[in-house]
Amino acid sequence: VSGARTPEAAVEVVAIGTELLLGETMDGNGAWLGRRLAAEGIRVVGRSVVPDDEAAIGDAVAVALARTGTVLCSGGLGPTRDDRTRAAVAGLFRRRLVVDDAWLEVVRERFARRGLVMAPSNRAQAEIPEGAVLWPNARGTAPGIRVEDARGAVVLLPGVPHELRALVEDHVVPWLRERFPLRPGPVASRVVRTTGIAESALGERLDDLLPQLAPLTVAFLPSLDGTDLRITSWGSLSSREAEAALDAAEARLRERLGILVYATGDTGLAAVVGATLAARGMTLGLAESCTGGLISARLTHAPGASTWFLAGYVTYSNDAKQRDVGVPADLLSAHGAVSAEVASAMAEGARRATGADCGLAVTGVAGPAGGTEAKPVGTVYIAAAVGSEVAVRLLRLGGDRFEIRHRSAQAALDLLRRRLLEAAG
Ligand code: ATP
Ligand code: MG
């Protein structure tokens, strides 16, 4: 294959745009290309970001070309003076820029159909390095361009994300498949989501299992939601083999971890709780204090929530706790608003006030002020009323206000999930 410098299917990406370096725009195109090509068994082995500057673009593309022989560029193909990618790459290949008459006509007609006259500056977008291949852009005026010589191939793609993606699907991927006929299998991953266990404890539980999953690897991805486990096949397996191996690995993780696993992929805990309630034909009433409506917002994010979500009270003050969900005044004065007794009364009260099958409640100290020696910042009680039982848990959370609120919401949802599963089984 002309220009292929490495036996593996490796490419580099150059993202062009001063706004990317200023941090005003994230290089989403580079990230997307990495994921999309990994699924084809093609590895993005390097990525650089350069400003809209002809010399900087030329240098970055030349270096990337020397390393892999296949370079994909994003951005800088616009009609204005500050879009320099075309000129930079034409210079690198020592080609003149010539107008592609067929493309110029396509663009002119598109404008005419909308009753507009094409701006003279759009003519620049029909210019390609002499001898280059033009890939039509159905969604914009800048086409994809492919230039090759003995050093390899450089592909220019518009920066507008949906335009770039369409060109990659329609033209770049088919071309890369031909260019790398012997490429390895896809990089294929699956995420298994856990919550309610620390990353280190999770690691210990899986210590002996993980080597048995080879050639798959497992990465630990902790966040405020819990720890995700990403299982990955790195290309030694075909697509079908990888799917089967991921299924088997997921089953072994689920078997080992049991109730700690709440979902796979990008499904969130609130969606899981909602689906569980819906499947049981049960309804929920909620009383939140320190989470201030976070749980309500998460639960109602899912379409169809109205079938099982009845109401969520944000009972921030003691008055509201009494008025809205009927927490007895003497309970508040005896134990304080942040207590197991009040959390439990809130959960039962939310259930009673809404007429729901289940009640869920959170009360705690999110900080930064309001902590005491007995109840420091991060002290949070969560309670779930399911069936005849009210389960209450004390959390001692670290982190700042944002983290405490987010973790409290997640823990409360998880308590409800577990109680629903236990009540059924
Ligand atoms: P067009 O000719 O269609 O205008 P272009 O190649 O000139 O495309 P740019 O002008 O560089 O593209 O960028 C167009 C838009 O795409 C901008 O809003 C920019 O923020 C966004 N964009 C550019 N590069 C990236 C990137 N690497 N990741 C995500 N978005 C990007
Ligand atoms: Mg730009």
What pLDDT shows up at residue 2?
39
pLDDT value of position 6? 41
Question: What local confidence, expressed as pLDDT, does residue 82 receive?
Answer: 85
Atom in ligand 1 nearest the alpha carbon of residue 52? 11
DSSP letter string over 116-135? Answer: -PPPGGGGGGGEEETT-EEE
How high is the pLDDT of residue 5?
36
For the chain, percent helix, then strand, then coil, each to nearest 5? 45, 25, 30
pLDDT of 80 reads 83
Residue having the nearest C-alpha atom to atom 2 of ligand 1: 78
Decide: helix, strand or coil at residue 80: coil
Nearest atom (ligand 1) to Cα of 142: 2
Pocket test for ligand 1, best of 160, 162, 163, 165 (most atoms within 8 A of CB): 160
Residue type, 266: D
> What whole-number distance in Å separates Cα of residue 274 and Cα of residue 277?
5
Contacts of 391 by beta carbon, 8 Å cutoff, 6+ apart: 383, 384, 415, 419
State the ligand closest to the CA atom of 164: 1
CA atoms within 13 A on the CB side of 249: 29
Helix then strand count (H, E) for the chain reads 15, 17
What are the Cα distances from residue 399, in Å, to 47, 52, 246, 356, 402? 34, 41, 34, 33, 8
Q: Which residues does a 6 A CB cutoff place in the pocket of ligand 1?
A: 15, 17, 19-20, 25, 27-30, 74-78, 83, 140, 142, 158-161, 163
Given the CA of residue 79, which atom of ligand 1 is nearest to it? 2
Could you identify the atom of ligand 1 that is nearest to the CA of residue 31?
A: 28
Shortest-distance Cα residue to atom 27 of ligand 1: 27
Rounded to a whole number, what is the largest CA-CA distance in the chain?
86
Closest CA to ligand 1's atom 15: 160
Look at residue 387 in the predicted model and tell me its pLDDT. 94
pLDDT tens for the 425 residues of the chain, in order: 333 334 579 999 999 999 999 999 999 999 999 999 999 999 999 999 999 999 999 999 999 999 999 999 999 998 887 899 999 999 999 999 999 999 999 999 999 999 999 888 888 899 999 999 999 999 999 999 999 999 999 999 999 999 999 999 999 999 999 999 988 889 999 999 999 999 999 999 999 999 999 999 999 999 999 999 999 999 899 999 999 999 999 999 999 999 999 999 999 999 999 999 999 999 999 999 999 999 999 999 988 999 999 999 999 999 999 999 999 999 999 999 999 999 999 999 999 999 999 999 999 999 999 999 999 999 999 999 999 999 999 999 999 999 999 999 999 999 999 999 998 76
Q: Rounded distance, CA 137 to CA 133, Å?
A: 13
pLDDT of residue 7: 53
- pLDDT recorded at residue 289: 98
Residue with tokens 């620049």: 124
Ligand 1 centroid–CA 161 distance in Å is: 7
- The Å distance, Cα 157 to ligand 1 centre, comes to 9
Helix 401-424 and helix 269-280, axial crossing angle in degrees, nearest 10: 30
Which ligand minimizes its atom distance to the CA of 33? Answer: 1
- The best mutation among 13, 18, 25, 128 to test binding of ligand 1, ranked by most ligand atoms within 8 Å of the C-beta, falls on 25
425: CA distance to ligand 1 center in Å? 53
228 - beta bridge partners?
193, 221
Measured in Å, residue 85 CA sits from the centre of ligand 2 at 9
Q: What is the pLDDT of residue 29?
A: 98
Instruction: Please choose, from the candidates 423, 280, 271, 296, the residue with its C-alpha nearest in 3D space to the C-alpha of residue 362.
Output: 296
What backbone torsions phi and psi does residue 390 show, to the nearest 5 degrees? Answer: -115, 115
Q: Are 246 and 188 in contact (CB under 8 A)?
A: yes
Q: Which amino acid is at 83?
A: D
Report the separation in Å between the CA atom of 78 and the middle of ligand 2, taken as the mean of its atom positions.
Answer: 7
Q: How far is CA 103 from the centre of its chain?
A: 36
